[in-house]
Amino acid sequence: MERSTALKSLKNHLNKPQHTIIIGPRQIGKTTLVKQLAEQLQKDNELVYFLTFEDPVILEAVNHHPENIFNYTLLPADLPADKRLYVIIDEVQYAKDPSNFLKLLYDKYSPKLKIIATGSSAFYIDKHFKDSLAGRKKVFEFFPLAFDEFLHFKGEDDLIAEWEQMKKRVTYQGLQRNRINAMFEEYLIYGGYPAVILADTEQEKQEMLKEIVNSYMKKDALEAGIKEELKFFQLARLLADQTGSLVNNHELGNTLQMASSTIENYIYLMQKTFIVQLLSPFYGNVRKELTKMPKIYFNDNGLRNVLLNNFSKLNDRADKGELLENYVFCRLRELYSADNLHFWRTADGNEVDFVVEEQLKKGLAYEVKYNDVQFKPNKYKKFVEAYPDFNLECVCNILTKNDSIEAIRL
């Protein structure tokens, strides 16, 4: 299966001299993506090599000296004048000093050498990339599949066009609407990890999600030097249970009998390994009224649900509102820069779930409600009066008959 949008963005960067660095959660298909890129390059008669730093022999060689990479490829000096050497490196973060490795190769061999590298964890990239590599790299950040990609991986490409129609017309009642509803419910429960989507049964999906938690989250924790692995996972479960809520490190520390600084460090690791993301408050004009604590969201609903061990159908869930809100967060994260995405909350409890600042003091605001009847416009009078240039809309559950066009748009 191909992630066409992601692949297109990478192809568009191939002619640039800068290194292409691909980061994102484990098991979202980064290796598959770069292998597909290698196949495309080979079809275009380019010189391309695929190496992985999980191979201890290759890793030992490049750790001894970066130019030992050419033990496994052609030398750039041996290339025909009209050719360029493409080297794809999987798991670049395992190098002893990936920053120095990439910097030396860029400074000495660019533009005849183009490196495309994947890294499973931004935590390791941050930790080991002591040089900023400014001007020498472009970082592409990929996440679990969006809903239209989910439909493609499910073999439901015919539903994608119908989904687009649903976004445009709130009263749309096409013949495939029930199928789309079923697909969207599955997506909210099991998320967007490719292997999970492609699994045949619900039991297989659940087992694969458990494997992601038990193996890959554990691997990240161990490699990061987490000493209290049990409490790390307990914290992840607590955060899953308060998706969309404020993160109070002091309260979480009291619950787990840990220092708040340790809680902060563990959440930082979860961010850098793409488990969670923190959403910062929007300050605007009334900074003194607003909370400084961030809100917590998961980068995948399936990962959240496996931490809670809850795969119940939506109608049987008390947290269906949180699932919808987490979906909206992930969708907004795709559409807008993270720097422009916030929430608004006052000390006396007035809140708007998401604020998108498209321009200075102008943009969009979204309140998420599972049922549209729960949306009471008068509750947001304070926000509307303070920020008249932010268009406030309600995002409601698209699986109900009373859905709104604002919900469909996302």
Q: For position 361, what pLDDT does the model report?
A: 82
- Pair 296, 244: CB distance under 8 Å: yes
Q: Taking all residues of the chain, what is their mean pLDDT, rounded to a whole number?
A: 89
Q: Domain spanning 4-141: which superfamily?
A: P-loop containing nucleotide triphosphate hydrolases (3.40.50.300)
> Cα Rg for the chain, rounded, in angstroms?
23
Q: Please tell me the pTM assigned to this model.
A: 0.91
Angstrom distances, CA of residue 131 to CA of 100, 122, 165, 258: 7, 14, 47, 33
Could you read off the pLDDT of 287-344 as tens digits, one per residue? 554 568 999 999 999 999 999 999 999 999 999 999 999 999 999 999 998 889 999 9
Whether residue 290 contacts residue 330, with contact meaning beta carbons closer than 8 Å, is answered with no
CATH architecture of residue range(s) 201-409 = Orthogonal Bundle (1.10)
162 φψ region: left (φ > 0), alpha (ψ -120 to 50), beta (else): alpha
**What is the spatial distance between Cα 101 and Cα 89, in angstroms, rounded to a whole number?**
12
Alpha-carbon separation of residue 348 from 55, 242, 289, 343 (angstroms): 56, 20, 8, 15
Q: Which residues pair with 298 in a beta bridge?
A: 276
- In the chain, where are the structural domains located? 4-141, 201-409
Q: What is the rounded CA–CA span in Å between residue 357 and residue 234?
A: 35
Residue 8 has pLDDT above 60, yes or no: yes
pLDDT tens readout for residues 40-81: 999 999 999 999 999 999 999 999 999 999 999 999 999 999
Supply 375's token pair.
């949306």
Residue 403's pLDDT is what? 40
